[in-house]
Chain A
Amino acid sequence: MMKCQRCDRQATFHITDLIDGKPNELHLCEECAQSFLSPSEEEVAEVMPAMAGLLAQHLAVGETADQLARLDQRSCPMCGITFLEFRKKGRLGCPHDYAFFADELEPLLMNIHDEVHHIGKVPKRCPQGADQQTQLIRLRREMKEAVAAEDYEQASQLRDQIREIETSSQTSDDTSP
């Protein structure tokens, strides 16, 4: 049994706290974890704007250090951002991150908004088409890499795929009311 670092009870929470960008492992019992995670009133007032960043750092509650390390290394296939980079900055890299890191972001969204479902406005023209457009982020990046690696065959295939998506979205523009 791993003991809580602040009392003698069993440590059930394994938290990675970022201090000046450096991870610091904490092993705490439920009670100590709660008091550690709930900021003082002064802190609330001060960190309100930076809340996402703060929560992102703390959202690993209940994960083991191993799981967290593995999670941190996962990177989005579209924009290449790792979860660790998001946790540090509090800013995501591209729209696809919301799908790719969905499981990790859900508790964070719950924490911020108390809800995880949008019920407001929906874009009129292209309510379904955004996913395909987001593929362009990956394709353009891969094309640039292919050109840099002088793999022109790959680059030209990617260029064709990019054109196909761009053309199809323009066609849908033309036919939209």
Chain B
Amino acid sequence: MHLDDLASSSGEWLKGSGPESDIVISSRIRLARNLADFPFISRTTESDRAEIEKGVRTRIDALLQTGSLSPDTLFINVGDISEVDRQFLVERQLISRELSESEGARAAVIDPSERFSVMINEEDHLRFQVMQSGLDLTSAWEKINDLDDLIEEQLTYAFSDKLGYLTACPTNVGTGVRVSVMLHLPALVITRQIEKVFKSLQKINLAVRGLYGEGSQAMGDFYQVSNQITLGLTEEELTKKVADVVPVLIDYERQAREFLVRESQETLHDRVSRAYGILRTAQTISSEETMHLLSSVRMGINLGLISDLEIPTVNKLFVHTQPAHLQKLSGVELDAADRNIERATYLRRHLNGKGPNDPSQN
């Protein structure tokens, strides 16, 4: 399997399936691990990083041999691929911006279903994640726990009895676990309740981030809610802490949607229809505007205001209209102005002629 094969497909978190998938896009758990016999990344030499990469690769290869990982698993030397390919993996949520932009030996291991990926030599020696569509944290934890056991069979992790798994940043020490759920919360944004929600989440030690992690803008009304602390609770307790708050957020969002339908049905319907109209007719359009409009369309589908479009299609458009995806899909490098034209073309092609009488197109 090749990196280019991923571009045309839809990854796990784009599927739009799983529990509560009208509001919950995906559930993700990541673990931070370090090898005991190497310094943390900021103090490593280039040869240390090469050794770490080699050691982990050997372990991954062994797991391929035993069939614990798919034979189509991709092993990517991140330093060897083009900037567009790196950006593509970031947009796909398979690697972080930090891994994409850092220097030196670093790699990514990617399961073909995109449900599992590993970053080598990011902030920690090993960062691996399991991603599921919809709200499904329990099975995500079970899966990542098993993979952690398999990888640990021949690598000695930095671990202390008192502090648990030792990480480069003290904010991750202990379990090294980050449990996060990505939610689509347009009605809470429209009704200006989102800030209030964030403040109450922070009070119970949960963090809120935008679509692409730390410091990113909440594009398209997508928000990631995750645990802030990693020490002093078990992995199951941390998972539960996040899992328990999600139904509350879903409930708030549904109430806000009902409020909008009840109090300003025409305004809401107008907003959704205009967004759909612009996306179907624009000749040039920026990524930000696309995300913003797709967000209204996505909510419109969930509220039954748009009937000729499916959620998985919209989920896919959110990602396929990102800069690197557009370039991968069109097969040429494009500057910002040309990308805006290509994006509008792509949207028109996928959103037009898809009425109920024309089910053949997809």
Q: Which residues of A approach B to under 8 Å, CB–CB?
A: 41, 44-45, 48-49, 51-52, 56, 78-81, 89-95, 98-99, 105, 108-109, 112-131, 133-134, 136-137, 169, 173
Contacts and interface: CB of A to CB of B under 8 A. Distances in A.
Interface string B200-216: 00100101010000110
Contacts of B233: 115, 119-120
Given A108-B170, A118-B232, A89 B42 contact: yes
Contact of A133 (B37, B149, B153): B37
Interface in B109-156: 123, 145, 148-149, 152-154, 156
B164 A49 contact: no
21 contacts: A52-B171, A78-B39, A90-B169, A92-B168, A94-B39, A94-B43, A112-B231, A113-B230, A113-B232, A117-B232, A118-B163, A120-B175, A120-B238, A121-B175, A122-B164, A124-B152, A125-B153, A133-B37, A134-B158, A136-B37, A137-B37
A81 B34 CA distance: 17
A92 B175 contact: no
Nearest to A132: B36
Contacts of B152: 123-126
B160 A99 contact: yes
A137 B125 CA distance: 14
Given A109-B231, A113-B231, A130-B159, A51 B39 contact: no
A81 B38 CA distance: 14
Contact of A98 (B35, B153, B163, B198): B163
A173 B170 CA distance: 29
Main secondary structure of the interface of A (DSSP, over half): loop
Nearest to A80: B43
Contacts of B228: 48
Given A91-B40, A125-B156, 6 more contacts: A89-B42, A113-B229, A115-B232, A117-B231, A121-B234, A137-B37
B162 A116 contact: yes
| Interface hub of B36, B149, B156, B233 (most chain A Cβ within 10 A) | B36
Interface of B: 34-43, 123, 145, 148-149, 152-154, 156-166, 168-171, 173-175, 177, 198-199, 202, 205, 207, 209, 214-215, 228-235, 238
Contact of A129 (B39, B156, B162, B173): B156
Contact of A118 (B37, B154, B174): B174
B231 A115 contact: yes
Contacts of A173: 154
Given A41-B199, A78-B39, A109-B231, A52 B169 contact: yes
Nearest to A105: B170
A92 B158 contact: no
The 4 closest A-B pairs by CB, nearest first: A115-B232, A118-B164, A133-B36, A95-B158
B156 A130 contact: yes
B166 A95 contact: yes
B163 A116 contact: yes
A52 to B, nearest CB: 5
B229 A95 contact: no
A175 B168 CA distance: 31
A93 to B, nearest CB: 4
A29 to B, nearest CB: 28
Given A44-B202, A120-B175, A125-B152, A91 B232 contact: no
Contacts of A95: 34, 36, 40, 158, 160, 166
Given A52-B170, A115-B231, A136-B37, A169 B156 contact: yes
Contacts of B156: 123, 125-126, 129-130, 133, 169
A169 B230 CA distance: 29
Given A113-B231, A115-B231, A129-B156, A91 B39 contact: no
Contacts of B154: 173
A48 B170 contact: no
A104 B132 CA distance: 39
Nearest to A119: B234
B153 to A, nearest CB: 6
Nearest to A46: B215
B221 to A, nearest CB: 17
Contacts of B199: 41
Nearest to B198: A45
Contact of B235 (A98, A113, A120): A120
Contact of B215 (A49, A94, A113, A115): A49
A98 B158 CA distance: 11
A112 B229 contact: yes
B198 A81 contact: no
A81 to B, nearest CB: 6
A57 to B, nearest CB: 13
Contacts of B235: 120-121
Contacts of B38: 94, 137
